Each structure stands twice: as structure tokens, then as C-alpha cells.
């Protein structure tokens, strides 16, 4: 009996929605399966905003993918009419030797990306809300900004549906298996499906769905905070205030955004990689008073007017690999039928559209022209948990 679909996509968050779009756009018969509703808040692809930048401190190897991702975000906006990206400029702040600064400078110079290096005096002059120490500098990138995760997911789902993808929501996958003669079978709480190819974009559910991948994923609870600045949000509008990642002398990073959703929602800030281990089943969704206080105190030394009034907070999850690089590849145990995209380690959303393109390449032809050697899961097979 022939498969009922060409490709099944498990998970329709950021990466899975993009994969479903790119696969369907190429004429594949796509079935998408999602545990929750569209653009939900249970995983990682929510919270109103994510930073997008090209001078990438994590590794210069990411830059070609970012350049393509920018192109695809523009195409997504044109194709759907949805607001997806806002390029308001961005600062990577800290001492010159800080990873956020030195790594960004390295990527910018290697790839000849437009940028400026600002000393503390110039930072304060151009961005009066910010209060860096005298020994801190910043890389400023005019092409940095933010993308809206919920809008991005909805836009990709819209295009996938436009190209006849069959998308099932509130239908959790219970297990999947390769078939002896080729192809895959996927079991959900409601039905069983077969396809020639399987794409797995599981987010924080990677440990459950990819037990044979050999990657020791760590799932981490993170908190996003919104504060009303003292004096109002006008100085924090995107025309006047950039996105930023700010690293202190201890290596602790915070990141934040301009005010993008009106005066009542203030500005969003968060710690980067200062979360606690969890699972999707055990994550504490309550944000506690001590956490809010710690965030406010940390911000008050850097942006004195920002932690004026706490407005709200929300949790999300990072799916971390030991080296914090992604996993995008054919499954080593099932290279003929299964493609995986996971372990995005808190810095993946800016890559959503290009990951969708890569996954479609791998699922339909087994290879891609994009540089993804860094994301081979075999690098982590022997890594300690």
C-alpha cells in the first residue's frame, strides 16, 4: 500500500511551520501534526519578539544562513502581508573581551558586515536610555532588529495551507517508526499515518521523540519580562531604541527590545541562559517575586528608567545541546527517511525560514547547498549528558 503523504512534519512551531511551507511550496503532499493549537504558547515560539542579527557572536559559520534568512523573512512578509520583521538596529554591549562583543566583531569583520564600534560615551549620547560603564563598548549593527514569532508561525502555516498542506492541530504524536520497505509510520492519539519521509521539529519534546538520536538534550525554563519604563515608552520606541544583548563582567547576558506593542505593554527584557532544568511536563509556569526582583535590579544599573513598573512575565523553554549549536540533519539511524531539526539552544528563531528551506532540501533530495556541517548530530554522540 502506497503512503498517504509524501512528507509528515511533526511539530508546527517555528521550524516545523516553515518546513511545512517550503515542502508544500515544492509540490509535496504534506501532513503536519501539532500537539497544541496554531502559534501556541507552550513551547518556544512565542513571547511577541525575538532578536535578529547578522554579526553573530556564537560562530561566524552562522552568517551565510542569516543572510538567507533575512531574504526569506522579506519574502514571507510580501507573500502574506503580515508584519514579521522590524530592523530597528541592535547593540552588542560589554567589555571588549566579552563574548557578545568580541564574537560579534569577529563575525562582522570576517563577513564584511556593516557595523560601528561605539565607546561608552557614544552609546550614552546616541541611546540616552542606556547607562554603560566607562570600560564597556558596543558593536552597533543597523541591520539588527526583531522578528515576531507568533506572526512568523501563522504566516508559514498560512502559506503551507495555501499550497494544500494538511495541518492537524491538537493531535499529539505518540510514536513513530521506520517501515521495513522504506518510509515511515506515525501514530497519534487519534490515527496512524504513513509517508515516504518524516521531518521531526520537536522543540522541547526532542528527548521524547528522538531517543535514538544520541544527543543529550537539556531542556531549560526561561522567563521573559515586560516592564513599564518610568516616564513612559516614548524613549523606547523602535525609532529611538535598539534591540540589545548586554554581557557583564561575570559573563551574564541580558537581552531586550524596544516597545513595539503600544504604551500599555512597556518593553521586554530577559536573562539569556540563566534558566533552570525542566521538561515540558514539569516546567513551572508561575513567575515568582524573587525572579522579578532579580531582573529589575539587574536592569536598573544599566537602563535606570526601565524597571519602573512590572507588567507581566511569561515562560518558555530552551532546547539545549551540549555545545549550544543546532542539530539539522538526516537522522543518522534512519538516513533514508527521517530529517531532524532541533536543539536550537535559545538562539534559533532568527533562522526559522532558512531552516524550513534546509529541511525541505534534506527531506526531498537528501542534501542541501546550505552550509550545515556544524549541525551534524554525530558530533554530540559521545558528549556527556
List of residues 6+ apart from 182 with CB closer than 8 A: 196, 336, 337
Tell me whether residue 84 is annotated as binding. no
Tell me whether residue 312 is annotated as binding. no
Tell me whether residue 325 is annotated as binding. no
Tell me whether residue 331 is annotated as binding. no
Tell me whether residue 45 is annotated as binding. no
- DSSP, collapsed to helix, strand or coil, labels residue 84 as coil
Single out the residue of 338, 332, 326, 327 nearest to residue 362, CA to CA: 338
Tell me whether residue 127 is annotated as binding. no
Tell me whether residue 14 is annotated as binding. yes
Question: What would the grid cell of residue 37 be?
Answer: 493549537
Tell me whether residue 217 is annotated as binding. no
Tell me whether residue 31 is annotated as binding. yes
Tell me whether residue 23 is annotated as binding. yes
Backbone angles phi, psi at 292, to 5 degrees: -60, -45
Single out the residue of 180, 259, 177 nearest to residue 10, CA to CA: 177
335 near 378, Cβ under 8 Å?
Answer: no
Tell me whether residue 314 is annotated as binding. no
Single out the residue of 26, 47, 229, 1 nearest to residue 152, CA to CA: 47
Tell me whether residue 24 is annotated as binding. yes
Tell me whether residue 213 is annotated as binding. no
Tell me whether residue 373 is annotated as binding. no
Tell me whether residue 10 is annotated as binding. yes
Question: CA–CA separation, 349 vs 83, rounded Å?
Answer: 16
Q: Which position has the grid cell 531542556?
A: 219
Tell me whether residue 157 is annotated as binding. no
Tell me whether residue 380 is annotated as binding. no
Tell me whether residue 214 is annotated as binding. no
Tell me whether residue 167 is annotated as binding. no
Tell me whether residue 25 is annotated as binding. yes
Paired with 116 in beta bridges are 140
Tell me whether residue 385 is annotated as binding. no
Tell me whether residue 145 is annotated as binding. no
Tell me whether residue 16 is annotated as binding. yes
Question: Rg for the chain (alpha carbons), in Å?
Answer: 21
Tell me whether residue 29 is annotated as binding. yes
Tell me whether residue 179 is annotated as binding. no
Tell me whether residue 11 is annotated as binding. yes
Q: Which position has the grid cell 512590572?
A: 310
Tell me whether residue 34 is annotated as binding. yes
Tell me whether residue 15 is annotated as binding. yes
Tell me whether residue 19 is annotated as binding. yes
- Binding site residues for FAD, as ranges? 6-36
- Binding site residues, as ranges? 6-36
Amino acid at each position: 500500500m502506497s503512503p498517504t503523504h509524501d512528507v509528515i512534519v511533526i511539530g508546527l512551531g517555528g521550524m516545523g511551520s516553515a518546513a511545512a511551507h517550503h515542502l508544500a511550496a515544492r509540490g509535496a503532499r504534506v501532513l503536519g501534526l501539532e500537539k497544541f493549537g496554531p502559534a501556541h504558547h507552550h513551547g518556544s515560539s512565542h513571547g511577541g519578539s525575538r532578536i535578529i542579527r547578522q554579526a553573530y557572536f556564537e560562530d561566524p559559520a552562522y552568517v551565510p544562513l542569516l543572510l538567507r534568512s533575512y531574504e526569506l523573512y522579506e519574502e514571507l512578509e510580501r507573500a502574506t502581508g503580515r508584519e514579521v520583521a522590524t530592523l530597528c538596529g541592535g547593540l552588542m554591549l560589554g567589555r571588549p573581551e566579552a563574548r557578545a562583543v568580541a564574537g560579534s566583531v569577529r563575525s562582522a569583520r570576517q563577513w564584511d558586515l556593516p557595523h560601528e564600534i561605539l565607546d561608552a560615551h557614544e552609546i550614552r549620547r546616541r541611546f540616552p536610555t542606556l547607562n554603560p560603564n566607562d570600560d564597556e563598548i558596543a558593536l552597533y549593527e543597523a541591520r539588527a532588529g526583531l522578528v515576531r514569532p507568533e506572526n512568523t508561525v501563522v504566516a508559514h502555516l498560512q502559506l503551507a495551507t495555501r499550497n494544500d498542506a494538511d495541518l492537524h492541530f491538537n493531535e499529539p504524536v505518540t510514536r513513530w517508526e521506520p517501515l521495513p520497505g522504506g518510509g515511515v509510520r506515525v501514530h497519534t492519539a487519534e490515527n496512524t499515518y504513513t509517508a515516504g519521509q518524516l521531518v521531526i521539529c520537536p522543540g522541547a519534546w526532542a528527548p521524547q521523540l528522538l531517543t535514538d538520536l544520541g544527543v543529550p538534550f537539556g531542556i531549560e525554563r526561561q522567563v521573559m519580562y515586560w516592564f513599564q519604563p518610568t516616564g513612559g515608552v516614548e524613549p523606547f520606541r523602535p525609532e529611538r531604541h535598539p534591540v540589545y544583548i548586554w554581557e557583564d563582567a561575570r559573563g551574564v547576558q541580558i537581552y531586550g527590545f524596544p516597545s513595539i506593542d503600544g504604551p500599555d505593554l512597556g518593553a521586554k527584557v530577559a536573562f539569556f541562559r540563566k534558566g533552570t532544568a525542566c521538561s515540558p511536563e514539569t516546567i513551572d509556569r508561575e513567575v515568582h517575586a524573587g525572579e522579578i526582583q532579580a531582573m529589575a535590579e539587574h536592569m536598573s544599573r544599566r537602563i535606570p528608567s526601565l524597571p519602573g513598573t512590572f507588567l507581566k512575565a511569561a515562560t518558555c523553554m530552551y532546547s539545549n545541546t551540549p555545545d549550544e549549536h543546532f542539530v539539522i540533519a538526516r537522522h543518522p539511524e534512519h538516513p533514508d527517511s527521517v530529517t531532524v531539526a532541533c536543539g536550537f539552544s535559545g538562539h534559533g528563531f532568527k533562522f526559522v525560514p532558512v531552516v524550513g528551506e534546509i529541511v525541505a532540501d534534506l527531506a526531498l533530495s537528501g542534501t542541501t547547498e546550505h552550509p550545515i556541517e556544524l549541525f551534524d548530530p554525530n558530533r554530540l554522540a559521545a558528549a556527556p549528558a
